[in-house]
Amino acid sequence: MITLEWPWVLAALPLPLLARALPRARAEVGAALRFPLRLDLGAEPTGTRGGTQGWRLMLAILAWMLLVLAAARPQWVGEPIGLPLAGRDLMLAVDVSGSMEQEDYEVNGRAVSRLGAVQAVASAFIERREGDRLGLILFGSRAYLQTPLTFDAATVAAMLRDSVVGLAGRETAIGDAIGLAVKRLREQPEGQRVLVLLTDGENTAGMLDPLEAAGLAAQAGVRVYSVGIGGGDVGIRTAFGMRLLRQGSDFDPSTLKRIAEVSGGRYFAASSRAELEAVYAELDRLEPNQRDERTYRPQRALFVWPAGLALLLSLGLAVGFWRRSP
């Protein structure tokens, strides 16, 4: 259907009739208010010239009506369309500290860093969450909000793929990352606040202790699903093939388990890409998309059509007046 956004503008349609009530300008008076196109609205048109003036007057009135109609902002309103709204506001906090550059994982037959594996698998997880509001926090020595909560999953995935190790410092501030997520999620509807924390689990920097931050998350109703990255063997390619080495003590699953327990979430270990993919599949099950019943009606502005037609009529009147001028 077609509606007018500002229907009160139509009250301006009778304004040209005021020209009849204006006093006629005398010849000896210098300045006067004159009607455009030199039309005498008070005289009856006679003969060919009068007929021409009559048509020109009708076209001028039509152009005025079209301009007023365009000013009233006509628009086409379509049928109601269901608007998918997520039942979850999900924030991802990804560790980009120096320890995330260890090559614990294998993607497409080649060794990749912990962050590379997270980027490959988490991007697919993000794109599957169509309709959810997603946000991204990157943390190292400090925590930074890379992407606020948004329905634009493609942008969140792109920002994650563009992240690099050391972007936020070489150390790991897990507590600060949780605190920043709580700050961003606490204003959202209760029961819909979820944080997915991806890190190797060893807190080495920051102002806030991870378990203290987990307590704050519990108070704010934010559930933390912690994902332990690493913990397996480090693959090193040598002249004699792949050599596996046990990795160092930087992996700290006990802290991640406590964070999940305190906040009411769950802990997942992801020592391989297959396990990491299984983690995201489980998160899809734990945090299903819950859609609302709200609808919206698409709108398309139509004012350009009457405005354009009025412009053409005005140009035609101007050309006709120019040709008749001596």
CA distance 266 to 170: 27
Stretch 191-208: mean pLDDT: 83
pLDDT score, position 144: 92
Instruction: Using alpha carbons, list the distances in angstroms from residue 99 to 1, 68, 165.
Output: 60, 67, 8
Identify the DSSP state of 3: E
pLDDT at 325: 57
Task: Categorize the per-residue pLDDT at 42 as very low, low, confident or very high, splitting at 50, 70 and 90.
Answer: very low
Task: Write down the domain spans for the chain.
Answer: 2-78+297-324, 89-286
pLDDT at 107 exceeding the cut of 80: no
Six token digits for residue 184: 């961003």
User: Other C-beta atoms within 10 Å of 107: how many?
Assistant: 14
Share of the chain above pLDDT 90, in %: 20
Average pLDDT over every residue of 92-121 = 82
Q: Which residues lie closer than 8 Å to 75 by C-beta, 6 or more apart?
A: 2, 3, 4, 5, 299, 300, 301, 302, 303
Tell me the whole-structure pTM to 2 decimals: 0.59
Q: What number of H helices and E strands is found in the chain?
A: 9, 15
What pLDDT band is residue 143 in, cutting at 50, 70 and 90? Answer: very high
Residue 87: pLDDT over 90: no
Write the pLDDT tens digit of every residue in 251-278: 678 888 999 999 988 898 877 777 777 8
- How many whole angstroms separate alpha carbon 244 and alpha carbon 237? 9
Tell me what percent of the residues of the chain surpass a pLDDT of 70: 75
What is the average pLDDT value for the chain, to the nearest integer?
A: 78
CA 203 to chain centre: 33
Distance between CA 207 and CA 293 in Å, rounded?
Answer: 42
pLDDT tens, position by position, 159-178: 998 988 888 888 888 999 99
Please state which of the ranges 44-53, 181-190, 191-200 shows the lowest mean pLDDT: 44-53
| Partners of 91 in beta bridges | 135, 195
Top-confidence residue, 259 or 37: 259
Q: Judge contact between 146 and 136, C-beta under 8 A.
A: yes
Residue pair 184/145 in contact (Cβ under 8 Å)? The answer is yes
The fold of 89-286 is: Rossmann fold (3.40.50)
Residues 118 and 229 sit within 8 Å (Cβ to Cβ) = yes
The reported pLDDT for the residue numbered 243 is 44
Contact 208, 176 (CB under 8 A): yes
